[in-house]
Amino acid sequence: MKIAVCIKRVPDMEMRFSIAVDRTSLDQTGLKYEMGDFDGYALEVGLQLVEKQGPGEVVVISLGPEGVQEILRKGLAMGATRAIQLKADQVPFDGLAIARALAEELKGGNYDLIMFGRMATDTANGTVGPMTAELLGLPCVTGISQLDIGQGNGTARRDLEGASETVHFPLPAVLTIDEGIARPRLASLKGIMAAKKKPLETKPAQLGSISLTVERMELPADRPPGRIIGEGADAVPELLRLLQTEAKVL
């Protein structure tokens, strides 16, 4: 089984962000980067599939500047076989451009499965996976919370608002993975050492024309500072009064 997992380098979301002087990007000072949350789940699912149903290989692919090599090495340390960096000075906001570059790389790869996280934790669009599938003409299931891969086909569950769907699909397919399906493993020391010797190939990203761009980035207005209105159950009538007359939400 041959699996590609597309991963994105995203800033650590627990940091305080500030906007760069160009007003269209984040100030890079002190930013720490990591693999996107959902991408970690996708990689874990891919690794487990090859371990259980091998032989095979897991290829991690990331688009972006030199820094993405760090998360590719992390993917290799977790157990991926090899890595590909699609080199671009920056990752555009345009999902179709990214999908085009990925499809160009993936099309000749004979992958049984191409996996993504449900969305990138930074830009929160979730468009690249299904767009890549369409460009490759492959079946696609998004937001998968349970997955079962059989001989040449699979069954997935995807959660909707207040409901869930059971979806059947043939292989090869493109899948996007939701949280909670399998907790990403930590890289072992042995894995980290082995990763240094695994192949990491770098190629230019074929992004094509870009039609979706960032016009401006701003920090949202801070919420007014919190207010403690009282202690214990005796504060409840005052809370109710404020909700009715001041906030007017009841």
Partner 1 sequence: MAAFLAFAESRAGRLRKVAFEAVTAARQAADRAGGHEVHAFLIGAPGIGQGVEALGKHGADTVFVVEHPALERYSPEVYSATMAERVRAGGYRGAFFTASAEGRDLAPRVAARLGVSLASDVTGFEFQNDSLIAQHPAYTGKVNVTLRLTGTPALLSLRPGFVTPAEQPRAARVESVEPAMDPAAARVTVSELAQRSTTKLDLGEAPIIVSGGRGLRAAENFKLVEDLAAALGDAAVGATRAVTDDGWRPPTDQIGQTGRLVSPDLYIAVGISGAIQHLAGMRTAKTIVAINKDKDAPIFKIADYGIVGDLFEIVPRLTAEVKKARSS
Q: Which residues contact 137 (CB under 8 A, 6 or more apart)?
A: none
Supply the DSSP string of 150-187, one letter for each residue.
-SSEEEEEEEETTEEEEEEEESSEEEEE-TTSSPPPPP
Q: What does each C-alpha distance from 199 to 61, 123, 189 come to in angstroms?
A: 12, 29, 18
Q: Is 164 in the site for partner 1 (CB under 8 A)?
A: yes
Q: How far is the CB of 100 from partner 1 (least distance, A)?
A: 9
Site map 168..207 versus partner 1, x via CB under 8 A? xxx--------xx---------------------------
Query: Is the CB of 93 or the CB of 191 nearer to partner 1?
Result: 93
User: Rounded to the nearest whole angstrom, what is the least distance from the CB of residue 234 to partner 1 in the complex?
Assistant: 9
Q: How many CB atoms lie within 10 A of CB 199?
A: 10
- The reply on whether position 21 binds partner 1 by CB under 8 A is no
Q: Which stretch binds partner 1 (CB under 8 A): 54-62, 107-115, 121-129, 186-194?
A: 121-129
CA 106 from centre of chain? 17
Those residues with Cβ within 8 angstroms of residue 185's Cβ, 6 or more apart along the chain or in another chain = 44, 47, 78, 79
Q: Which CB, 167 or 192, lies closer to partner 1? A: 167
Contact status, residue 174 vs residue 114, Cβ threshold 8 Å: yes
Task: Pick from 34, 87, 122, 192 the residue near partner 1 by CB under 8 A.
Answer: 122
Residue 166 interacts with partner 1 (CB under 8 A): yes or no: yes
Quote the Cα angle for 76-43-149, to 5°. 130
Rounded least distance, CB 122 to partner 1, Å = 5
Residues between 123 and 142 that touch partner 1 (CB under 8 A): 123-135, 139-142
User: Residue 42 CB, nearest distance to partner 1 (Å)?
Assistant: 13
Compare residues 193 and 229 and give the one whose CB is closer to partner 1: 229
User: Which of 45/128 has CB closer to partner 1?
Assistant: 128
Contact segment (CB under 8 A) with partner 1 among 52-60, 74-82, 198-206, 242-250 equals 242-250
Give the residue from 127, 153, 152, 130 showing the smallest Cα distance to 141.
Answer: 130
Q: Give 79 or 129: the residue with its C-beta nearer to partner 1.
A: 129
**Two tokens at 248?**
């007017």
- Residue 226 lies near partner 1 (rule: CB under 8 A): yes
Q: Which of residues 22-81 bind partner 1 (CB under 8 A)?
A: 26, 37-38
Q: Could you give the CA distance from residue 186 to residue 119 in angstroms, rounded to a whole number?
A: 21
Task: Count the alpha carbons within 13 Å of 224 in the hemisphere toward its beta carbon.
Answer: 2
